[in-house]
Structure 1
Amino acid sequence: MELLSFPKITDIEEMFFKRMIENCDVISLDENVKRQAIKIRRTYGIQNPTSTGLPKYLYEMTKYYPDEMDENGNYHYGYFEAYFTEPARKAYLIYSGQNLAGFAMLNPHSYIGHKVDFVIAEFCVFPAYRRQHIAQKASEFILKKHPGKWEIKFNGNNLGAKKLWEKVTQKYNPAVHHINDDETVLEFSNC
């Protein structure tokens, strides 16, 4: 089976990427995953969506959600800048060694109208880094770093996300809310 790999970043993306790294807190996980050091970096300041891998993720999510492209063939995320300007929102970059392997975006906005502290709004590990336990270790790290009331939503057709979130939240005995035929919200506390 051939894994999808992403092309090398351009010089312009490299410039934004370097600036983004300069504005990060670096946190290393204690464990290695298949001999790869995993790092989570909280990002600050307005970032370039391309340097986070967001456009690739948005394209991949069109398998599950009917998002429209703009006239240039790009997908947009309306709240992207808010993750770098609103204190209640948090953005993390996930690294495998020196390579950007994914990202996570948190906010305090409930999908089901309940009082929550944190919601995983977006979470992605790029295809080349999947099946290496990176998503599990990164998500467990983020949950441990932020105790409180949580919600995690996933599309049931996204079998990888379904498996990940059910496994990671199992120890918290989450309440399961089916908000439509495809989407499920896991609600739990990790305090």
Structure 2
Amino acid sequence: MKLELVPVQREEKEILRNLMEKYDYEFSQYDDRDVNALGLFGYDYFDCYWTEDGRYPFFIKADGKLAGFVMIGNYMEIFPEAKYNLAEFFVLYKYRRAGVGTFAAKAVFDRFPGVWELKYHPKNLPSVHFWDKVIRENAADIVCIPDCSAAEYDDGINGTAYRFTTGQK
């Protein structure tokens, strides 16, 4: 399978927005979010990825087909010394456990070496296992804070927060 990490162009915004709705639908099982009056989850900072510096949206493609997305920002919620925040990460179910997520994570870490911030919801067990393994295998200077109040989700549950450095292994 040929895997690619492809920047999302402005004219492809609606494709990413559609994928984000699928991502938010799936994630609502962990954070108990509801849809809005239009039946959508929405994403408050979506347009910022095309209007602000330091935000980077990418499609993950497998054999030329959409397999997910990655959204990176330079705003920090937890670790002010970090340079990058892995804001959103989604792999379509069909492509999970096939190396697609690992490829995408490594690709963004290679493309943006430096200090990263990442958080995950503790109820999202596939994410817990995935990020613990991928960070351990691809980063250095790892700090992990379970039950981090600065990483609180909409449902009031504290997430696990990571600070790590890529590009040094």
Question: What band does the TM-score fall into relative to the shorter chain?
Answer: 0.7 to 0.9
Corresponding letter in the other structure for 1:153: K
CA RMSD of aligned residues (A): 1.7
Q: 4+ residue stretches of structure 1 with deviation over 6 A?
A: none
Corresponding letter in the other structure for 1:147: P
Identical counterparts, % of pairs: 26
Listed as ranges, the gaps of 5+ residues in structure 1 are 1-35
CA distance in structure 2 between the partners assigned to 1:66 and 1:107 by the alignment: 24
Q: Which residue number in structure 2 is paired with residue 21 of structure 1?
A: none
Q: Which residue number in structure 2 is paired with residue 19 of structure 1?
A: none
Return the structure number with greater relative CO, CA threshold 8 A, min gap 6: 2
Corresponding letter in the other structure for 1:190: T
The DSSP-based 3-state class of the residue aligned with 1:184 is strand
Q: Which residue number in structure 2 is paired with residue 12 of structure 1?
A: none
Q: Which residue number in structure 1 is paired with residue 145 of structure 2?
A: 177
Listed as ranges, the gaps of 5+ residues in structure 2 are 150-156
Q: Which residue number in structure 2 is paired with residue 71 of structure 1?
A: 37
Aligned residue pair count: 156
Which one has the largest radius of gyration? 1
Could you list the per-position Cα deviations for residues 34-92 of structure 1 after superposition, in whole angstroms to 9, with x for gaps in the alignment? xx100110123261156651110011111111323112211110001111221200000
Q: CA distance change for structure 1 residues 70 and 81 in 2, over 3 Å: closer, same or farther?
A: same
**Is 1:190 equivalent to 2:166 in the alignment?**
yes
The DSSP-based 3-state class of the residue aligned with 1:112 is coil
Corresponding letter in the other structure for 2:145: H
**Contact kept in structure 2, 1:43 and 1:93, CA below 8 Å:** yes
Q: Which residue number in structure 1 is paired with residue 58 of structure 2?
A: 92
Q: CA distance change for structure 1 residues 74 and 154 in 2, over 3 Å: closer, same or farther?
A: same
Superposed, 1:7-46 pairs within 5 Å as: 36-45=1-10
Q: Which residue number in structure 2 is paired with residue 130 of structure 1?
A: 96
2:75 pairs, out of 97, 101, 109, with 109
Corresponding letter in the other structure for 2:40: N
CA distance in structure 2 between the partners assigned to 1:124 and 1:40 by the alignment: 12
**Contact kept in structure 1, 2:6 and 2:60, CA below 8 Å:** yes
Q: CA distance change for structure 1 residues 63 and 119 in 2, over 3 Å: closer, same or farther?
A: same
The DSSP-based 3-state class of the residue aligned with 1:123 is strand
CA distance in structure 2 between the partners assigned to 1:40 and 1:113 by the alignment: 26
**Is 1:61 equivalent to 2:18 in the alignment?**
no
The DSSP-based 3-state class of the residue aligned with 2:130 is helix
Q: CA distance change for structure 1 residues 113 and 174 in 2, over 3 Å: closer, same or farther?
A: closer
Q: Which residue number in structure 2 is paired with residue 28 of structure 1?
A: none
The DSSP-based 3-state class of the residue aligned with 1:48 is helix
The DSSP-based 3-state class of the residue aligned with 2:10 is coil
CA distance in structure 2 between the partners assigned to 1:107 and 1:76 by the alignment: 18
